[in-house]
């Protein structure tokens, strides 16, 4: 795995208007990135990003035309960050619609962006792709069962991309975050890491060439356990769910 430098890179970030995407966009700038295509469904929400290195773009990751239009020819560092998560059980009446939406945004979006940008990355020397997944994509967190499944699909895609794009010199990083203090985790009553700290830890992981990036204390603990025993991680989650239900 090749480490990638942030300084001078030309990055594209999806969902750059808030949360981890916004923090990544700002962290990239402070680490000396050459240019950032900061993208969002509503580019008005990016207007306060005033540095001349920002290029603001409209990009809904479920819109094929917008993805083609955003596939800028000079990009060499892609952050698949945009995501949605729905709380709820698998017997809820709305679960199918929500699960489909999660797959559209969290899996098909990154897949389509990869399909579109892989030739660009090849032309630009290989570059790198960073998929913002979740610890819940490695061990299902049943508070968000269908979200976890969509992140498991993203993890699987990340593994495939690492091999398939490796031959063109593209580095592929998977990020497996724990709870981060953003709108997405508002209902989660547990300690959370700031998006800023997570963003810098992700950039550190890229520069260190870590294929699996665990960017916060919860994720780091989880990662150590998962790497020694995936089954033990599953048992630990089951015990946590049982104790909360008791
Ligand atoms: N927060 C956590 O605890 C946590 C933990 C692990 C992993 N993650 C992952 O980190 C990533 C960022 O999440 P976050 O915590 O920053 O959540 P967030 O604050 O809810 O932000 C989600 C971002 O995704 C964008 N988005 C949603 N649907 C989109 C679409 N169809 N096209 C383009 N952008 C879209 C949102 O844009 P709008 O403003 O237009 O909705 C927003 O910018 C996600 O992939 C998430 O799964 C988060």
Q: In order of start, what are the domains of the chain with their CATH numbers?
A: 10-245 (3.40.50.720)
75 lines ligand 1 (CB under 6 A): no
| Average confidence (pLDDT) over 89-117 | 96
pTM of the model: 0.97
CA distances from 169 to 49, 92, 123, 128, 162 (A): 31, 44, 10, 8, 10
Residue 155's pLDDT band (cuts 50, 70, 90): very high
Cα of 108 to ligand 1 centre, how many Å?
Answer: 15
pLDDT surpasses 60 at 30: yes
Rounded Cα distance, 89 and 39, in Å: 32
DSSP 177-235: E--BSSGGGTT--S--B-HHHHHHHHHHHHHHT-SEE--SHHHHHHHHHHHH-HHHHHH
Cα(167) to ligand 1 centroid in Å equals: 30
Question: How far is Cα 130 from Cα 121, in angstroms, rounded to an integer?
Answer: 13
Does 66 have pLDDT greater than 80? yes
H-run or E-run covering 109: helix 109-123
């Amino acid at each position: 795995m090749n480490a990638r430098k942030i300084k001078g890179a030309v990055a594209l970030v999806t969902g750059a208007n808030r949360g981890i995407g916004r923090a990544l966009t700002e962290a990239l700038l402070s680490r000396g990135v050459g240019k950032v295509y900061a993208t969002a469904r509503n580019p008005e929400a990016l207007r306060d990003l005033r540095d001349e290195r920002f290029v603001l773009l409209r990009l809904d990751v479920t819109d094929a035309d917008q993805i083609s239009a955003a596939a800028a020819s000079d990009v060499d560092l892609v952050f698949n960050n945009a995501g949605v998560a729905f709380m709820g059980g698998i017997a809820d009446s709305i679960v199918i619609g929500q699960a489909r939406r999660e797959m559209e945004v969290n899996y098909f979006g990154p897949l389509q962006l990869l399909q579109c940008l892989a030739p660009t990355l090849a032309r630009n020397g290989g570059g790198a792709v960073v998929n913002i997944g979740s610890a819940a994509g490695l061990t299902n967190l049943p508070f968000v069962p269908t979200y976890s499944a969509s992140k498991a699909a993203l993890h699987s895609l990340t593994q495939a991309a690492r091999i398939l794009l490796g031959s063109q010199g593209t580095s592929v990083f998977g990020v497996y975050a724990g709870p981060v203090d953003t709108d997405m985790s508002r209902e989660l009553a547990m300690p959370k890491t700031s998006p800023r700290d997570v963003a810098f830890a992700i950039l550190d992981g890229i520069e260190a060439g870590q294929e699996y990036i665990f960017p916060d204390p919860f994720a780091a603990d989880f990662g150590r356990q998962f790497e020694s025993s995936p089954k033990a991680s599953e048992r630990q989650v089951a015990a946590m769910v049982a104790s909360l239900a008791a």
